[in-house]
Amino acid sequence: MKRLIVTADDFGLTAKINQGIIEAHRQGIITSTSLLANGVAFDDAVTLLRETPSLGVGVHLNLTEGSPLLPGREVPSLVDHDGVFRFGPGTLARRIVTGKVRLAEIEKELRAQIERVLGANLPLTHLDGHKHIQLLPPVLDVTIRLAVEYRIKAIRCAVERLSAPVSLWRRNRSVPSGVMKQFLRGRLAALLALAQRRRLDRAQLKSPEHFYGVAQTGFLDRISLRQIIANLPEGTSELMCHPGYVDGQLRQTPTRLLAQREEELAVLVEPETRQLVADNCVQLINYRQLGEQP
């Protein structure tokens, strides 16, 4: 049995991102989404999720973009003088290792993010991380501890299946370095996730067996999506994607994913995509069904 969770990240980032994700669920193959508790369109996202109970929802734990939920004075090692998250994932990792970012502050902020989503009475299916921060070993310790405490049964594990970047590079020759960077990020994430899986098993937390989407971030086109669906292995896989609509509010965020979001959305809602899922006998599920027998 081939089962696939299709997760749209960044729900709550902007209202137009929310709109696109809901459309991709209602008209396409999206089954799950990850909610930014500190997103500027959080309240809009909650309203839409209450109207769409079939869409699974997890918390998109965030330490690298926007403002924390807690006042800056409570998490000073995470923010700049304006009270905004100041570090990308690489710098964040180095500062954690050197003790310049305090794990106690990370736990306080991630706890606040989980509690904000729970406080909206949304049934959480899983945890994952913006920019895959949950893969950083010290952050993973905190994430596992919070998942167990709040009885959240699953955490994303991005052990991405190896794919050759050549065909993707040929279709994106205007940005060859971007394709290669994403491919290398996918390999690094997969290495970290291999160690993560063992720790999730010990904590009796679930995760899909296979993962796709890091290498394709910003480049998920019709050909890539069809290759993924047509070659899914037996068991449960997760595909991470970033559909949505672009507006002025999105352009004001630091995301590099702009027009690509609309391109992904168009592919995800194509009738041919749903037909390909059916032709390959793929069962679409979300994290809620992860522990159920197929």
* HEC secondary structure over 31-77: CEEEECCCCCCHHHHHHHHHCCCCCEEEEEECCCCCCCCCCHHHCHH
pLDDT digits (tens, 9 = 90+) for 6-15: 999 999 999 9
DSSP SS3 for 6? strand
Distance CA 111, CA 69 (A): 10
**Whole-number pLDDT of residue 259:** 82
Residue ranges covered by each domain of the chain: 2-289
pLDDT digits (tens, 9 = 90+) for 33-66: 999 999 999 999 999 999 999 999 999 999 999 9
Distance CA 69, CA 90 (A): 22
Distance CA 266, CA 78 (A): 37
pLDDT-derived band of residue 174, with 50, 70 and 90 as boundaries? low
Residue type present at position 266 = A
When the pLDDT of each residue in the chain is averaged and rounded to a whole number, the result is 88
pLDDT-derived band of residue 168, with 50, 70 and 90 as boundaries? low
DSSP SS3 for 198? helix
**Whole-number pLDDT of residue 186:** 60
pLDDT digits (tens, 9 = 90+) for 217-267: 777 888 889 989 999 999 999 999 999 999 888 778 777 667 889 999 999
- DSSP state, 124? E
The CA R_g of the chain, rounded to the nearest whole Å, is 18
**Whole-number pLDDT of residue 250:** 77
Distance CA 94, CA 229 (A): 36
Q: Is the pLDDT of residue 166 over 60?
A: no
pTM: 0.90
**Whole-number pLDDT of residue 196:** 82
**What fold, for 2-289?**
TIM Barrel (3.20.20)
Distance CA 87, CA 192 (A): 19
Nearest to 287 by CA among 82, 128, 77, 100: 128
Tokens 């973009």, located at residue: 65
Handedness of CA 249, 255, 257, 259 (dihedral sign): positive
- DSSP state, 162? P
The Cβ-side half-sphere exposure at 97, using a 13 Å CA radius, reads 8
Phi-psi region of 220 (alpha: psi -120 to 50; beta: other; left: phi over 0): beta
pLDDT-derived band of residue 184, with 50, 70 and 90 as boundaries? low
The string of DSSP codes covering 206-242 is: B--SEEE-STTTTT--HHHHHHHHHTPPSEEEEEEE-
